[in-house]
Amino acid sequence: MNQSPETPVFQKKGSVNKCPSCGAQLGAFVSACQSCGHEFTDVDANRSITALVARFDEIEREVDDKGIKGRHRVQAVTDKRARVIRDFPVPNSRDDLRQLMFFIQPKIVQSVQPDPNIEDWRSKFMEVLNRARHAYKNDDSALAEFDGIAKSLEGSVAASMRIKARRNPVFAALAVGAVLLALAGMVSSRLAQNKVQECEDQYTASARIEAARLEKIAASADQGYQGRHYADAAASAGKLYWDLADAACKSVENQHSRFVWDGKRAKAQTQIEAAVAAETAQQSAAADHAAAEQVAAEQRVAAAKQAVERQAEDAARVVAQKEKAKEVEKKW
């Protein structure tokens, strides 16, 4: 007997959430049915949330054990819970992220008595929301819901400011004052920037004029040096001083320019003094050589005179000897 082939069974992974009240399909990250308004109070928290709640209970007991009462107790619990919330690790799995968002979202909704740690919860919620966006990056519907959540949070913050302003006129006045102070600060900062820019521009122009003046003096000093007019060159080099007064916006640059031109002046003066010393030494050497030549010439003249005198004496002696010889011959 032929058996008809079994119809293949296709299995899909995942689950479709439906409202237990009306059976409508539920979107991601909703705490109430969009069709009938049924609130889901039977959502099981994951292990991380359970541990977080247990830690909050432990904080309550620790504060009570210390005997802290009244508003000091509230502040102590709030501070300890803030540290726990800030340090609470954000999970990586999609289900854990989903459960954590369910857990946090009611705590950041503005109400008559908001959670004391609402700002800490808000920061943690944004951290979880960003992680969830990455985890659901391929799920367009979930990403669209995330954007809606983010916008609702922005509206919640604005509403919170309006509620505080209505409840507390002093807060409104302080908020307006803060805005005015911020605007005044911006204007003051802009004016200060303009003043600094004006100072810098003025200094740049003045520095350019001062540099051109000194370059002209330096050229005159170099011309005198090259022409061996060392007195004129030294007089010009002595004028190489940066005379521009310090500006509040460019005091460091101005001091640097003064230092540079002090160095140029000292270098030019040293170079001129060395040239003067060399010329003086050369002139002294030339004078010594001329004196030596004169002495040598006088010595040569004296030697020649002495030679002439010796020759004359020798000639006279020879004549005398001859005369004496003639007289001897006559006697014989």
pLDDT-derived band at 170 (thresholds 50, 70, 90) equals: low
In sequence order, the 6+-apart residues with CB closer than 8 A to the CB of 175 are: 161, 165
| pLDDT number for residue 12 | 41
Q: Which amino acid is at 260?
A: V
Cβ(51)–Cβ(91) below 8 Å:
no
Residue 331 tokens read as 């006697």
User: How much is the average pLDDT of 265-291?
Assistant: 92
In sequence order, the 6+-apart residues with CB closer than 8 A to the CB of 71 are: none
Cβ(212)–Cβ(261) below 8 Å:
no
Task: Report the range of poorest mean pLDDT among 9-13, 124-128, 186-190, 276-280.
Answer: 9-13
Mean pLDDT score of the chain, rounded to an integer?
80
pLDDT-derived band at 79 (thresholds 50, 70, 90) equals: very high
Residue 2 has pLDDT above 60, yes or no: no
Cβ(275)–Cβ(228) below 8 Å:
yes
| pLDDT number for residue 222 | 94
Task: Report the range of poorest mean pLDDT among 264-268, 306-310, 319-323, 328-332.
Answer: 328-332
Residue 300 has pLDDT above 70, yes or no: yes
User: How much is the average pLDDT of 282-296?
Assistant: 91
Residue 266 has pLDDT above 70, yes or no: yes
Cβ(85)–Cβ(26) below 8 Å:
no
| pLDDT number for residue 97 | 82
> What Cα–Cα distance (Å) separates residue 71 from each residue in 29, 84, 95, 165, 258?
35, 20, 37, 23, 65
- 202 CA to centre of own chain: 25
User: How much is the average pLDDT of 103-124?
Assistant: 82
Residue 44 has pLDDT above 50, yes or no: no
Residue 13 has pLDDT above 50, yes or no: no
Residue 27 has pLDDT above 70, yes or no: no
User: How much is the average pLDDT of 84-98?
Assistant: 83
